[in-house]
Structure 1
Amino acid sequence: MGTSFRFAWATSMLLLGSGCEGVNEGPATLGPRPPPEAGPALSAAYVAQCARCHGERGEGTTITFPRLPGRARDEGSFIARVRGGGGPMPAFDESLISDADLKSDFAVLLQLNP
């Protein structure tokens, strides 16, 4: 065997051996999962007053309790519908859900249920 062959063989073994470091350390594991994206949140008043009929995300539960914001495509008509009620839905005054919460919830519902 020539000197250049021995040098090449020794270099190859050295490189192969260095790549095996840590082989017996066990399987690789992934870290903990990141928390799911929270996304837009509906108000506590929505959860307390509306979610039982319209669903936690306004997805609707039946034809009687439709997806929100439903046919109300503007904030004013949405608030008027909540304040005035109609059909099986009772009216909700400001002591139950504030105008600020209704405005915020309308914007969130448009994002959740475009």
Structure 2
Amino acid sequence: MGIFWENSFTTFLFVTVIIGGGAGYLAGRSLASNWRPVPQLIFYMLLLGLAVRFFHFALFEGTLLSLQYYVVDTLVLIGISLLGYRLTRVSQMVAQYRWLYVRSGPFTWREKQ
């Protein structure tokens, strides 16, 4: 038993990070490409956190109603989804407004000189 995972680190890595994080990353990309706001992304990750907690319960005999593990799972999902959101938003800004902005890093853009 760990502070961040319930059964094993492998289970946490597989269910939360790979499966849930993959879904969160794709959701972040989708919301960014449709110009949706970040609070909407957070709301969807709260729902996805419930689904991930259910997978831990149904597949690996985890605790379904555990606030601690739900918060950990959801924070991981929010972090991964914000990564996908930001990477997509930077690509959008540079591609759609190429006369105004240039990429200054993987997570940022700046005005053209």
The TM-score, its normalising length taken from structure 1, stands at: 0.31
- By relative contact order (CA 8 Å, sep 6+), the higher-ranking structure is 2
Q: Over alpha carbons, which structure has the higher Rg?
A: 1
Going by fraction, where is helix more abundant, 1 or 2?
2
The TM-score, its normalising length taken from structure 2, stands at: 0.31
Going by fraction, where is strand more abundant, 1 or 2?
2
